[in-house]
Chains A and B, each alone.
Chain A
Amino acid sequence: MAASFLFSQFVGGLTTAMFLFLIASGLSLVFGVMRVINFAHGSFYMLGAYLAWQMVQWLHPSGETFWPAALFAAACVALLGAIVERLLLRFLYGREELYQLLFTYALVLILGDAAKYIWGTGQLSVSRPPILGGSIMLFGATVPLYNLFVMALGLAIAVGGWRMLSGTGAGRMVRAASYDREMLDALGANVGAIYTGMFAVSSFLAGLSGALVTPIVGIVPGMDVEIIVQAFIVVVIGGLGSFWGTFWGSLIYGQVLSFGILIFPGFSLFSVFALMAVILVVRPWGLLGRPIR
Chain B
Amino acid sequence: MLISLATSLTATAVTLLAGLAAAAWRQNRAGAGAALVDGIFILPLVLPPTVVGFLLLLLFGRNGPLGKLLLQFGASVVFSWPATVIAATVVAFPLMYITARAALEQVDPHLLQAARTLGASEARIFREIALPLAWPGVLAGTILSFARALGEFGATLMLAGNIPGKTETIPIAIYFAVEANEIQRAMAWCAVDVGISIALLGGLYYWTHAQRLRRERWGQH
- Decide if A and B are genuine partners: no
